[in-house]
Every structure is written in structure tokens, then in C-alpha cells.
Amino acid sequence: MPQPLSVDIELTCDINTCSDNLYDTVDYDMLCRKIVEIGHNAYLNLIETLAERITQSALENQMVTSVLVRVKKCQPPLKEIRGGFVVEILRHRSP
């Protein structure tokens, strides 16, 4: 059953900070679109799997050296759990 989720993503990147050229950085718009596509097109049981797929998608960009993804289930199944439930995955680019 579809559920409202929230995604936070933190990237560590090896970029040229002296440049002001968009081609010298991560295309955040494209990455956001990929995240939405993964969320809309994947029928997954676990938010851990969703977080892992988002992480792997971000690591496809060669400038990204590590990724921290948080996926929050905004409406957990138990009313006693307020504020949501969060899974966090940290991955580093393999050497």
C-alpha cells in the first residue's frame, strides 16, 4: 500500500569549488528526479531497500564519494509511534 515518505540525502563530493560552472558539479535536479522515479516506480516492501536504491543511484555520479540517505515513513502503522520512523544508510564509493 502506498505510504507518504520523506527522503533526505547528503552527498560528499569531489568537485572543483573554484568553478562556477554547472557542469563541474552534481546535477541535483537530475538526482532529485531519479529519487522520485525510484520511489514511484519501485514496488518495495522495505524502506531500507528504497534507501539502498537511492544511495546506489547517487553513487553513479563519479563526483560523489559518499552518500547518506534517510528515508522517513511519515505515518508508521502504530499510533503510539509519533513523528515517523527513519532508516538511515551511509555508503562510500568503493576504491
pLDDT recorded at residue 40:
86
pLDDT recorded at residue 16:
74
Q: Is the pLDDT of residue 70 over 90?
A: yes
Question: Domain ranges in the chain?
Answer: 5-92
Nearest to 87 by CA among 5, 3, 4: 5
Residues 6-20 have pLDDT tens digits of 999 999 998 877 788
Contact 64, 92 (CB under 8 A): no
Render the burial of 43-66: b for 16+ CB within 10 Å, e for the rest: eeeebeebbbbbbebbbebeebee
Q: For residues 37 and 71, what is the distance between their CA atoms, to the nearest angstrom?
A: 15
Q: Is the pTM of this model over 0.95?
A: no
pLDDT recorded at residue 8:
95
CATH of the domain spanning 5-92: 3.30.1130.10
User: Hey, how many other C-beta atoms are within 10 angstroms of the C-beta on 40?
Assistant: 9
User: Hey, how many other C-beta atoms are within 10 angstroms of the C-beta on 87?
Assistant: 16
* Residue scoring higher pLDDT (63 or 77): 63
pLDDT recorded at residue 76:
78
Residues 21-53 have pLDDT tens digits of 878 888 889 999 999 999 888 788 899 999 999
